[in-house]
Amino acid sequence: MIAIIAEKPSVAREIAAIAGATNKKEGYLQGNNYMVTWALGHLVGLAMPEEYGITGFVKERLPIIPDAFRLVPRQVKSGKGYKSDPGALKQLKTIGSVFDKCDSIIVATDAGREGELIFRYIYSYLGCTKPFERLWISSLTEKAIKDGLNNLRPGADYDNLYHAAKSRSEADWLVGINASQALSIAAGQGIFSLGRVQTPTLAMVCSRYLENKDFVPVPFWELRLDTSYGNHAFSAFTKDRIESRSIAKELFEKQKQQETVIVQSVEMKEVKQEPPLLYDLTTLQKEANSKYGFSADKTLSIAQKLYESKYITYPRTGSRYISDDIFNEIPRLIAKLSGYSVFADYAKKMADMNLNIRPVDAKKVTDHHALLITGYIPKDIGYDERKVYDMVAGRMLEAFSGPCVKDQTAILLNCSGVLYAVKGSVTKTAGWRDVFSEKEEGKEQDKELPILTEGQELHISGIQLLEKLTKAKPLHTESSLLAAMETCSKELEDEEQRMALKSCGIGTPATRAAIIETLFSRDYMYREKKSLVPTEKGLAVYNAVKDKRISDVEMTGMWEDTFVKIEAGNADAGNFKKGIEVYAAQITGELLNTELSLPKHQSMNCPKCSKEVIFYPKVVKCSDEACGFMVFTSLAAKKLSDDIIQTLLSGKQTPLVKGFKSKAGKFFDAHLAFDEDYKVKFVFPDNRQRSNKPPKKKQ
């Protein structure tokens, strides 16, 4: 009997169907000499300090450096502590039973660093010694699974991948646990979280916010000249900015007197715009955030669902390229889209095209190739799933299409010694841009200019003086933050570290969404429309660590460089761990002596249980989670002032608050008070009372 272990039940079912294990059991499937079971993500992880007899945050016990790390089943919160997840315990027992009944194991967890770690931790925790082989696939199609099962690889081939994953896991524990406890002790109140990816990511958000906040706009001026030739009217702007108001006004007065302008130069050239590369996960997340406002976490969840439904290939990929053998499948996949209404017309055209081979480079394929569709065309899927599928399908068509060819024109006009510039373009061949031609809002528009010759004289129809201001860099969005995490290598001076991060950035495509969500859950930042805004707590943490290595991408660069070398067998995991233990002790000492400038709020007690409340950007919560008391700082489209919140917390009815908005769009005024369950209710001037829902429209 052979055991197969997948990472998730849905993946296990797909593999079991191909293997012939169709008999359903509790926690596994059986048949055709196979027993197919599954993990539930990270079923086993590194034990927390309590497992080593260390409870509470005590300065004298830091740094915490276990002689040997212990593995425990996944933990869930229970009161003020943690306990083993009953579901994890149950599935681990099933996996152990399956392994005991089988002679060998096929590892079918996700093909990558984390997938390898998930299996090895389970294998070690169960004390299993059965031989195992590796199934390494990038999609769940029948062909991919069959090919993978027919080409299993020795488990030992992935020992170095496991050593790199284990090194990452233990190093994150050593630095994260010690740094977080040290900062929490230094703060004297609350729990603070630090980590070697989380903290530099927070630093990116905070530094951009402060740069934006402290930015002082600088005025500048430019002149706009309106002219025409034939039926083409167009405008040109002064080639250089004018930094002085007085000079701008003087120039404007002189230019107003001019009636004609001379064409000083005309530059025309043909430009080829190559199609974009295929999606990797981060690029998909960035564009889904920009186009649809999807969070990185939401995009990953949708992509994972599409993958498990066999519509797209493995989403947690960091590559935008495919190998030659995958390229052989592309014509078939394009032909499949000729039956998909969204892209049918364009897909049919591609049957007669020579496919662009720019995305084909086996040397640039990492653990998995770029995102592709599988040939299974979705029918009944959700609205958001459809958007992400169309992005992947459309990008595949774009990537293998020809370039977009444009004629670009740059004209320089001379008006009595003042130069004006204007650029235009005309599309000759749409190429890849034709895929989303009329489906994409805000697409690049052509600006056609008349055909002019040097020395030609044109009539001036108007001159305007325009005052403008320099602009600050905008606050980070999830899209721009993902890009910054991906390209942070630009900030490094060390060539090896820069190259290590150039291919991966900080975090991995699979973990960046989780890192961003962690910053939200830690109350370090919040969303304001699409912008990411640090909280006072987040800024306090940033100010405390901004000059330390834990907030610098350089440290992550060193780690990633070493992980790559461990995977390749060119670095020793044991030596890396010793270095991390030294650093854990160093950062612990630094943080214990750090002062944290925490936000000051008037101390208020919970009206329900009398314990202290904690103020967050969008909510006020009781410090005792078991109490469950909570008040939102906005209600019925109205932001509540601090005075109103404090009156509520004191248990009193508020003064009349004006400007609430009902779901029907009507404005109303009301007092606020708590009901018997400590939920906010509206109290109207005529003594009518309502729940915390806006008034319904009268029938």
Domain annotation for the chain: domains and CATH numbers: 2-151 (3.40.50.140), 167-213+475-592 (1.10.460.10), 219-274+406-469 (2.70.20.10), 281-399 (1.10.290.10), 613-690 (no CATH)
- Measuring CA to CA, how many Å separate 219 from each of 109, 243, 593? 58, 7, 44
Specify the pLDDT at position 508: 79
Task: Give the whole-angstrom CA distance, residue 285 versus residue 192.
Answer: 28
Mean pLDDT, the chain, whole residue set: 89
- pLDDT of residue 599 exceeding 80: no
Task: Give the whole-angstrom CA distance, residue 277 versus residue 436.
Answer: 15
Specify the pLDDT at position 441: 46
- pLDDT of residue 699 exceeding 50: no
85-89, 261-265, 553-557 — which is least confidently predicted?
553-557
346-350, 374-378, 470-474, 682-686 — which is least confidently predicted?
682-686
- pLDDT of residue 95 exceeding 80: yes
- pLDDT of residue 528 exceeding 90: no
- pLDDT of residue 280 exceeding 90: yes
Specify the pLDDT at position 615: 77
Percent residues over pLDDT 90 in the chain: 66
Q: HEC states along 558-589?
A: HHHHHHHHHHCCCCCHHHHHHHHHHHHHHHHH
Specify the pLDDT at position 663: 81
Interacting residues of 370 by C-beta distance below 8 A, sequence separation 6+:
277, 278, 279, 280, 317, 319, 320, 321, 322, 359
- pLDDT of residue 696 exceeding 60: no
Specify the pLDDT at position 697: 42
Sign of CA dihedral 352, 354, 355, 360: positive
Exactly one of 314, 321, 389, 420 is catalytic; name it: 314
- pLDDT of residue 445 exceeding 90: no
- pLDDT of residue 402 exceeding 80: yes
108-117, 155-164, 493-502, 587-596 — which is least confidently predicted?
493-502
Specify the pLDDT at position 338: 94
- pLDDT of residue 5 exceeding 80: yes
308 CB-contact burial (10 Å; exposed 0-12 / middle 13-18 / buried 19+): middle
Greater model confidence, 102 or 485: 102
Region 55-66: what's the mean pLDDT? 92
Would you call 467 helix, strand, or coil by DSSP? Answer: strand
- pLDDT of residue 247 exceeding 50: yes
| Confidence at 489, pLDDT banded by 50, 70, 90 | low
**Count of C-beta atoms within a 10 Å radius of residue 642:** 11
Percent residues over pLDDT 70 in the chain: 93
Region 644-656: what's the mean pLDDT? 88
* 314 in catalytic set: yes
Region 285-290: what's the mean pLDDT? 95
Q: What is the DSSP letter of 249?
A: H
- pLDDT of residue 440 exceeding 60: no
pLDDT in tens, 219-229: 999 999 999 99
| Confidence at 576, pLDDT banded by 50, 70, 90 | very high
Q: Mean pLDDT highest for which of 65-69, 187-191, 527-531, 630-634?
A: 65-69
Specify the pLDDT at position 686: 63
- Nearest alpha carbon to residue 516 among 479, 560, 541: 479
- Nearest alpha carbon to residue 317 among 392, 391, 367: 367
Task: Give the whole-angstrom CA distance, residue 526 versus residue 520.
Answer: 6
